[in-house]
């Protein structure tokens, strides 16, 4: 399936290559570079490229292109999903998936790639198993290794791979047994000029950090499971229990993992917890315009809205912006024309405001469309959908675990101009 992999940085250097079958020359990447040149930006490089003898399937992650070489028919998503899994694993091992991290740990990277794929077919992709095979680097270990000559490669053999619970390693022991669940929800909304919602939905995930000894068998139930309209599961969850009882029943992997992701049905009306007042105008025949935006909270059940960041893609004709923020700080990148305003926390008593002058290129026509505003925010301890955890039970082990859950709501709003109205 996957023949070879090339890692390429933004300046077009191939800084790592790995072949699982016979060697494919680096020159195959020229087809990729050609496609990259044609694309307006990195985001628009087509993920699938056909060349005379091979097919190239690539992903772009953390400023690195992962370009895989394929020779025969394969579901493209299979390869894409696998490449992302590789990037996730690097992230997991090195704390970041960057060119430097990969170059610094090239031996571990190679060992990982060797274990993850055999003859182009995925072999071990679960982090629990990989960590038993190849230990992640730590400063202490690398010092010890260099003195004693001992290795990163596990000398005990992984048991998970041999069992039917391939995601969990055996013999896990903790003195403090803990289980944490983070419910993170994201509202995704499009709002028109008059402030009415064109489209809104809530996407949520439950990320878990489970540090429990032995083979715990957990079941997590919700007060209102019907809210979850469409759910996708980590492979550890038993489908049948969910289908019959709406209970999440599973033997968890050890450590951090994403338990479920879900969508809340659009029938449940979504109340958007912030509002925006805005006035952006460009005067005809002058090379300037006015910009005035205020953000305020609404209906958030007494919780503070924090981590507010507004990003605006300004029209190309904008040269620079001269603004004053009553709160937080703003930056304007004259190359990408992106205005970022880091607002921070919203206090209802004093609403954050950003206003000032927009300078346009002289002679440039007045931008015909006002930009859309993207607003991101966070609300702690509140799941915007109203999802509530009922209880967590543990079977199979006798200790009492420490359990915790947290709720965070993230928002992403994209108001935009509609038809003849000038702005949202």
Partner 1 sequence: GLPSVAFHLCGSSQDLNEDLKQMLESSKDSAKLDAMKRIVGMIAKGKNASELFPAVVKNVASKNIEIKKLVYVYLMRYAEEQQDLALLSISTFQRALKDPNQLIRASALRVLSSIRVPIIVPIMMLAIKEASSDLSPYVRKNAAHAIQKLYSLDPDQKEMLIEVIEKLLKDRSTLVAGSVVMAFEEVCPDRIDLIHKNYRKLCNLLVDVEEWGQVVIIHMLTRYARTQFVSPWKVMVDEYSENNFYESDEEQKEKDQKLKTTYTMDPDHRLLLRNTKPLLQSRNAAVVMAVAQLYWHLAPKSEAGIVSKSLVRLLRSNREVQYIVLQNIATMSIQRKGMFEPYLKSFYVRSTDPTMIKTLKLEILTNLANEANISTLLREFQTYVKSQDKQFAAATIQAIGRCATNITEVTDTCLNGLVCLLSNRDEIVVAESVVVIKKLLQTQPAHHGEIIKHMAKLLDNITVPVARASILWLIGEYCERVPKIAPDVLRKTAKSFTNEDDLVKLQILNLGAKLYLTNSKQTKLLTQYVLNLGKYDQSYDIRDRTRFIRQLIVPNEKSGALSKYAKKIFLAQKPAPLLESPFKDRDHFQLGTLSHTLNSRATGYLELSDWPEVAPDPSVRNVDVAKEWTGILGKPKKEKPTEKFYSESEEEEDESASTSSSGKCLESTAFSLPGKLCLQNCLVHK
Nearer to partner 1, 355 or 388 (CB): 388
- 231 touches partner 1 by CB under 8 A: yes
Question: In angstroms, how far apart are the furthest CA atoms of the chain?
Answer: 77
Hey, what are 410's tokens? Answer: 């993230």
Among 141, 258, 303, 355, binds partner 1 (CB under 8 A): 258
Which residues ranging from 259 to 278 are in contact with partner 1 (CB under 8 A)? Answer: 261, 263
Assess 398 for contact with partner 1 (CB under 8 A). yes
Q: Which range of residues in 92-100, 153-161, 274-282, 348-356 is near partner 1 by CB under 8 A? A: 153-161
Binders of partner 1: how many residues, by CB under 8 A?
122
Q: At 69, phi and psi to the nearest 5?
A: -105, 130
CB-based contacts of 195, cutoff 8 Å, min separation 6: 275
Residue with smaller CB distance to partner 1, 113 or 351: 113
Q: Which residue has the tokens 């980590």?
A: 234
Overall size of the chain counted in residues = 424
> Applying CB under 8 A, which part among 55-63, 276-284, 319-327, 351-359 lies near partner 1?
55-63
Q: What are phi and psi of 245, to 5 degrees?
A: -120, -5
Of 98-117, binders to partner 1 (CB under 8 A) are 106-107, 109-111, 114
Between CA 309 and CA 106 the distance in angstroms is: 36
Among residues 10, 77, 301, 357, the one that binds partner 1 under rule CB under 8 A: 77
Q: Which of 161, 287, 304, 359 binds partner 1 (CB under 8 A)?
A: 161
Identify residues 6-45 at the interface with partner 1 (CB under 8 A).
14-19, 21-23, 26, 40-41, 43-44
Nearer to partner 1, 258 or 355 (CB): 258
- Least distance in angstroms from the C-beta of 290 to partner 1: 20
The rounded Cα 282 to chain-centroid distance in angstroms is 36
CA distance 50 to 1: 15
Rule CB under 8 A: choose which of 35, 51, 78, 92 binds partner 1.
78
Report the distance separating Cα 136 and Cα 128, nearest Å: 11
173 φ, ψ (degrees, to nearest 5): -135, 130
Nearer to partner 1, 126 or 254 (CB): 126
Q: Contact region for partner 1 (CB under 8 A) — 169-177, 258-266, 290-298, 347-355?
A: 258-266
Which of residues 37 and 243 has its CB atom nearest to partner 1 in the complex? 243
Instruction: Round to whole Å and give the CA distance between 203 and 408.
Output: 12
Q: Name the residue among 314, 383, 312, 305 with its Cα closest to residue 351.
A: 305
CA 58 to CA 71: how far, in whole Å? 14
3-class SS of residue 416: coil
Q: Closest separation between CB of residue 324 and partner 1, Å?
A: 26
Residue from 196, 240, 267, 285 that binds partner 1 (CB under 8 A)?
Answer: 240
* Euclidean distance between CA atoms 424 and 413, whole angstroms: 12
Site for partner 1 in 172-191 (CB under 8 A): 180, 182, 190
Question: 130 phi and psi, to 5 degrees?
Answer: -60, -40
Residue 226 carries which DSSP code?
A: G
Q: Which is nearer to partner 1, 139 or 149 (CB)?
A: 149
Give least dist CB 97 to partner 1, A: 13
Decide: is 48 part of the binding site for partner 1 (CB under 8 A): yes
> Given the complex with partner 1, which of 297 and 401 has the nearer CB atom?
401
Here the contacts of 284-288 (C-beta below 8 Å, separation 24 or greater) are 284/366, 285/366, 287/359, 287/360, 287/361, 287/362, 287/363, 287/364, 288/357, 288/358, 288/359, 288/360
- Give the H or E element holding residue 104: helix 99-104
Binding of residue 46 to partner 1 (CB under 8 A): yes
Q: Which is nearer to partner 1, 109 or 327 (CB)?
A: 109
Give the nearer residue to partner 1 in terms of CB position, either 61 or 355.
61
Strand order in the sheet with 48-50: 14-19, 2-9, 64-70, 55-61, 48-50
Residue 149 interacts with partner 1 (CB under 8 A): yes or no: yes
291 near partner 1 (CB under 8 A): no
Binding mask 81-100 for partner 1 (x = CB under 8 A): xx-x----------------
Q: How far is the CB of 421 from partner 1 (least distance, A)?
A: 10
Check: CB of residue 55 under 8 Å from CB of residue 48. yes
User: Is there binding between residue 166 and partner 1 (CB under 8 A)?
Assistant: yes
Q: Could you give the CA distance from residue 197 to residue 190 in angstroms, rounded to a whole number?
A: 6
């Amino acid at each position: 399936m996957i023949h070879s992999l090339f890692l390429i940085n933004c300046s077009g250097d191939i800084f790592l290559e790995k072949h699982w079958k016979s060697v494919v020359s680096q020159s195959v990447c020229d087809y990729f570079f050609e496609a990259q040149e044609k694309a307006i930006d990195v985001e628009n490089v087509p993920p699938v490229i056909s060349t005379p003898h091979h097919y190239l399937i690539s992903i772009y992650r953390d400023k690195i292109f992962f370009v895989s070489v394929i020779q025969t028919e394969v579901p493209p998503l299979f390869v894409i999903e696998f490449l992302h899994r590789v990037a996730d694993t690097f992230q997991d091992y090195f704390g970041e998936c960057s060119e430097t991290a990969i170059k610094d740990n090239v031996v571990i990277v190679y060992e990982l790639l060797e274990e993850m794929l055999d003859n182009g077919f995925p072999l071990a992709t679960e982090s629990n198993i990989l960590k038993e095979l190849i230990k992640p680097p730590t400063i202490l270990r690398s010092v010890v290794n260099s003195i004693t000559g001992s290795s990163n490669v596990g000398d005990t053999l992984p048991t998970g791979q041999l069992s039917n619970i391939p995601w969990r390693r055996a013999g896990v022991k903790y003195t403090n047994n803990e289980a944490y669940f983070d419910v993170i929800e994201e509202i995704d909304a499009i709002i028109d000029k008059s402030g009415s919602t064109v489209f809104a939905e809530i996407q949520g995930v439950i990320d878990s950090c489970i540090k429990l000894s032995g083979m715990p068998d957990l079941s997590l139930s919700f007060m209102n499971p019907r809210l979850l309209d469409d759910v996708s599961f980590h492979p550890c969850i038993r489908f049948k229990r969910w289908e019959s009882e709406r209970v999440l029943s599973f033997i968890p992997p050890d450590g951090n993992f994403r338990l479920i992701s879900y969508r809340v049905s659009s029938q449940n009306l979504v109340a958007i917890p912030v509002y925006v007042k805005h006035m952006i105008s460009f005067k005809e025949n002058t090379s300037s315009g006015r910009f005035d935006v205020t953000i305020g909270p609404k209906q958030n059940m007494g919780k503070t809205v924090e981590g507010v960041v507004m990003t605006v893609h300004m029209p190309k004709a904008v040269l620079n912006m001269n603004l004053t923020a009553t709160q937080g700080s703003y930056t304007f990148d004259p190359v990408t024309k992106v205005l970022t305003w880091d607002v921070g926390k919203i206090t209802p008593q004093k609403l954050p405001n950003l206003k000032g002058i927009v300078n346009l290129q002289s002679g440039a026509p007045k931008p015909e469309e006002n930009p859309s505003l993207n607003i991101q925010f966070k609300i702690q301890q509140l799941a915007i959908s109203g999802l509530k955890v009922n209880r967590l039970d543990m079977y199979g082990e006798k200790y009492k675990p420490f359990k915790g859950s947290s709720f965070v709501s993230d928002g992403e709003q994209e108001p935009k101009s509609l038809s003849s109205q000038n702005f949202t």
